[in-house]
């Protein structure tokens, strides 16, 4: 791959001698990610995300373009609200016209990638990070601007995540699970109900590929904020647990319950003024609805993850929820 053009960089960087190294292509070849070393005194290192999308008019194409705008808006308008323990990359430069985002290189402080799946101990670290992230926007998320797909960066997603039903109608049509349809529609309604306790901003794509750990494993950092938006925090929890935690951990109900207690305790400690009506019981009921919702997406798109969000488990949840008054 060719080097990153100097014209894409801010003058504060391009005035110095610098070298770039290609790291990866973005999803569906919508651009690239480069490591950038600036030979200043002292030397500096950055990661540059460059959006260079092909032409298109599909819903998927528009969703991707909006996601990059949302990510830039998050870094420039919201990241500063996070506490030091909720580590994300510092943003040095964001240029919507050029599709460029220049970020702190997290690798020196967080050199251990999560890989394909994480252990129970690592999952606890991530859930503490997630609780801190949710706490930063707890009860105030609905005052944050929404990006309605404009050409400029204007806010976050009205519904955080990339699998919510309103944006996945093609997958809904492909789903051949009649037993799931009624519950999936209700789950969608619960998860976007503005009166549900626990509304915040969700990360929207909290999987192992977007997580890095410190060398000692005691802390983590997270990147890729393309799908940040309004919603219930359990949507992030379900996605992370179902896609990124070791199968052996998620197959043990007691260990899963322990992880949920880690998240709730960290949330309780981080939210100023307490959680009010958001009890552990409310959280667990919302978790079930979020599991139904995630399985609905997989049923139309394709199943992946560690097997926790299995058809058998979701059928049990649906039966139990249907039996409740």
* Residue found under tokens 């569906």: 28
Neighbours of 29 (CB within 10 A): 10
The pLDDT score that the predictor gives to residue 147 is: 82
The pLDDT score that the predictor gives to residue 2 is: 62
| Closest of 120, 105, 87 to residue 49, by C-alpha | 105
- DSSP letter at 175 equals -
| Closest of 242, 225, 284, 288 to residue 71, by C-alpha | 225
- CB environment 222-238: b (16+ within 10 A), e (fewer): bbbbbbbbbbbbbbbbb
- Cα distance between residue 102 and residue 147, in whole Å: 21
Q: How many CA atoms lie within 13 A of 160 on its CB side?
A: 31
The runs of H, that is alpha helices, within the chain are 11-14, 59-73, 120-136, 169-174, 178-191, 234-244, 247-250, 253-270, 280-301, 311-323
Structure tokens at 48: 């540059």
The pLDDT score that the predictor gives to residue 150 is: 59
pTM as predicted = 0.95
Q: Is the Cα torsion angle 135, 87, 119, 28 positive or negative in sign?
A: positive
The pLDDT score that the predictor gives to residue 14 is: 85
Phi, psi of 124 (to 5 degrees): -65, -40
Q: What is the pLDDT along the chain (325 residues), one digit of tens a residue?
A: 567 888 888 888 888 889 999 999 998 899 999 999 999 888 999 999 999 999 999 988 988 999 999 999 999 999 999 999 999 999 999 999 999 999 999 999 999 999 989 999 999 999 999 999 999 999 987 789 898 775 678 999 999 999 999 999 999 999 999 999 999 999 999 999 999 999 999 999 999 999 999 999 999 999 999 999 999 999 999 999 999 999 999 999 999 999 999 999 999 999 999 999 999 999 999 999 999 999 999 999 999 999 999 999 999 999 998 877 6
| Closest of 317, 323, 312 to residue 292, by C-alpha | 317
């Amino acid at each position: 791959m060719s080097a990153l053009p100097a014209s894409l960089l801010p003058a504060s960087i391009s005035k110095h001698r610098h070298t770039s190294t290609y790291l990866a292509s973005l999803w569906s070849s919508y651009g690239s990610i480069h490591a950038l070393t600036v030979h200043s005194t002292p030397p500096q290192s950055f990661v540059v995300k460059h959006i260079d999308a092909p032409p298109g008019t599909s819903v998927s194409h528009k969703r991707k373009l909006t996601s990059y705008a949302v990510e830039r808006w998050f870094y420039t308008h919201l990241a500063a609200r996070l506490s030091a323990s909720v580590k994300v990359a510092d943003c040095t430069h964001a240029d919507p016209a050029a599709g460029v985002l220049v970020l702190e290189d997290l690798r020196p402080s967080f050199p251990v990638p999560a890989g394909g799946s994480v252990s129970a101990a690592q999952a606890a670290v991530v859930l503490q990070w997630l609780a801190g992230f949710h706490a930063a926007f707890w009860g105030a998320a609905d005052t944050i601007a929404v990006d309605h797909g404009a050409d400029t960066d204007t806010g976050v997603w009205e519904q955080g995540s990339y699998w919510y039903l309103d944006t996945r109608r093609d997958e809904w049509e492909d789903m051949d699970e009649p037993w799931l349809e009624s519950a999936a529609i209700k789950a969608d309604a619960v998860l976007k109900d503005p009166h549900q306790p626990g509304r915040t901003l969700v990360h929207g794509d909290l999987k192992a590929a977007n997580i890095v750990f410190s060398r000692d494993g005691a802390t983590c950092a997270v990147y890729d904020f393309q799908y940040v938006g309004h919603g219930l925090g359990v949507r992030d929890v379900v996605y992370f647990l179902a896609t990124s935690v070791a199968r052996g951990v998620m197959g043990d109900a007691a260990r899963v319950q322990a992880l949920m207690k880690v998240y709730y305790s960290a949330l309780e400690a981080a939210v100023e003024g307490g959680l009010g009506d958001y009890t552990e019981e409310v959280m667990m009921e919302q978790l079930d609805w979020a599991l139904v919702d995630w399985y609905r997406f997989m049923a139309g798109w394709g199943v992946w993850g560690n097997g926790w969000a299995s058809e058998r488990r979701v059928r049990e949840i649906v039966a139990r929820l249907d039996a409740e008054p």
